Structure 1
Amino acid sequence: MLKLTYTENNFNLERLDESLEKWVNIRVTLAIRSNTPIHLESSSASFLLAGEYVPQVFNLEQENRVELYRCDEDLVEVVLEGLWLTSDPESEVGIFVTNLEESTELLFEQMQQNLQLCHT
């Protein structure tokens, strides 16, 4: 499962070994027990990858629920379908989760880590 965390100033992508269903159930249970609002909806999310990765991710469009859009010669936007979780439905802060093939999740995680290393 891929987990994309969107905050006011940051974005984080990580791969989790838990199933999406188990992870969502834990989050809902936690929200109920802590009396915290939770909003869940089917949605799409996007993130940017360096354009140099286009050849590696080109075949992913056919194999997964992945869409790619070239922003410019340096960046590619990756769009995924999944589930959006937030405490405020009007907020752009929240967590997006999706299930893809394990190899695809690992590839995205590695690419995102490489992109972050280039910007530090």
Structure 2
Amino acid sequence: MLKLTYTENGFNLERLAQSLEDWVTTRVILSLRAGWHICVEPSTASFLLPADLPGIERLEIEARREDSEIISVSACDVDYVEISLRGSWVSASSECDEGVFVVTMSDRTEFFLFKLWQQAQIVASCVSE
């Protein structure tokens, strides 16, 4: 399972071994016990990766192998590709901009996407220094 945590400063991507159903169930139970509002709904999430990142072509091949409803890779412009995912949005309300997006794909695609995202973060941190 991939977990994208969206905050006011950006987002973080994690790969979890836990199943989507177990993670959501635990989150709902925690919210109920703590008295927090929780909204879980089907949604989409998108983020950009550098188009020249080694492995982008392979990700496109993996995306075609996946159910096309779950992941798509589209050229955004010369410098970036857009990764779009279909999964579940978990937040305090359906109108909230901050929350967690979770999605399940094949282990292979999840691992590969996560590694590409990590590489993009390393490149971005080197450029900003």
**TM-score normalised over the length of structure 2:** 0.88
Q: Pairwise CA RMSD of aligned residues? A: 1.0
The residue identity in structure 1 corresponding to 2:119 is: N
Once structures 1 and 2 are overlaid, which stretch shifts more, 25-34 or 51-60?
51-60
Unaligned regions of 5+ residues in structure 1, if any? Answer: none
Match of 2:78? Answer: 73
Q: Which moved more, 1:75-84 or 1:58-67?
A: 58-67
Aligned pair count reads 120
- Deviation at residue 10 of structure 1 after TM alignment: 1.5
Q: Which amino acid aligns with 2:5?
A: T
Question: Given residue 121 of structure 2, which amino acid in structure 1 is its aligned partner?
Answer: Q
Q: How does 1:13-24 map to 2 (within 5 A)?
A: 13-24=13-24
Structure 2, gaps ≥5 residues long: none
Runs of 4+ in structure 1 over 3 Å off: none
Deviations 1:59-113 (A, max 9, x none): 1232222111111121110001111000022121110001101011111111111
Aligned pairs for 1:72-91 (under 5 A) are 72-91=77-96
Match of 2:122 in 1: 117
1:56 aligns with 2:61: no
Percent of residue pairs bearing the same amino acid type? 40
